[in-house]
Amino acid sequence: MEITAIIVARKGSVCIKNKSMLKLGDDTLISNKIKQLKKCKNINRIVFGSDSDEMLEHAKSYGAETVKRPEYFCDERLASANDMIGNMLDLIKTDIVVWTHCTNPLLSSKTYDDAIQTYLINLNNGYDSLLSVVEFQEHLWNENKKPLNYNPYQKRHVPARELPKYYMQDGGIFIQPYSQMKNNSYFFGKKPYLYVIPYSEFLDINTERDYIVARCLLGYNT
């Protein structure tokens, strides 16, 4: 059974220009992710896909296999995430896919390995895929500016620790069989196992502020 980690990136990132090439010390987000994945005991291959020749050469220099993605499927104004996934899986073949993003720089190799083991174990429990999430308990309000999960007007204020637990996708780890992912063209199946990552490893870089936080947490704050 072959387990392949897939990383995708594009040259036309929206919020931060060339986001995947941002530096963390001597590494970029791309090389940082490849190094994390190369330390994983349960990953056999690392495939990096992009429409950027610069990024492809960079990823290749750190030991990843590379595939050139058509520009159409890298433009979110033209192609949906489903289209992008389907195209990427047309370019490779494997048994199990671990789909990840270089913009989650805090995830550890240990967490990846544990997520893969958890996925394999839970295939026997009726789950068909796995996605990483972060657990939180907060006072939430909906789009209509109404309390969502508590009553602020009752006699006793409910502390956050007593509220129901909610789970948010962090975008860091998605695991499912290659054949299933190719068929559904999505990150996970109909019955995903929610894998709770350590909160200390939760960070998805989408803004300049996220990048500054990542640098500080990793000790690159100068």
Q: What is the pLDDT of residues 114-151, one digit of tens each?
A: 999 999 999 999 999 999 999 999 999 999 999 999 99
Question: Residue 43 in contact with residue 136, Cβ under 8 Å?
Answer: no
Cross-strand pairs, 67: 49
Tell me what pLDDT residue 76 has: 80
Question: Does residue 208 surpass a pLDDT of 80?
Answer: yes
Q: CATH says 3-217 is which class?
A: alpha beta
Q: pLDDT over 70 for what percent of the chain? A: 99
3-state secondary structure of 26: coil
Question: Does residue 107 surpass a pLDDT of 80?
Answer: yes
Write down the mean pLDDT value for the chain: 95
Tell me what pLDDT residue 198 has: 97
Mean pLDDT lowest for which of 15-24, 59-68, 180-189? 15-24
For the chain, domain boundaries: 3-217
* Residue 204: Cβ within 10 Å count: 17
> Which has more pLDDT, 122 or 73?
122
What are the residues whose beta carbons fall under 8 Å from the beta carbon of 191, sequence distance 6 or more?
Answer: 126, 127, 128, 129
Q: What is the pLDDT of residues 142-187, one digit of tens each?
A: 999 999 999 999 999 999 999 999 999 999 999 999 999 999 999 9
Confidence of residue 15 (pLDDT cuts 50, 70, 90): confident
Question: Residue 60 in contact with residue 50, Cβ under 8 Å?
Answer: no
- Distance of alpha carbon 55 from alpha carbon 53, whole angstroms: 5
Tell me what pLDDT residue 73 has: 83
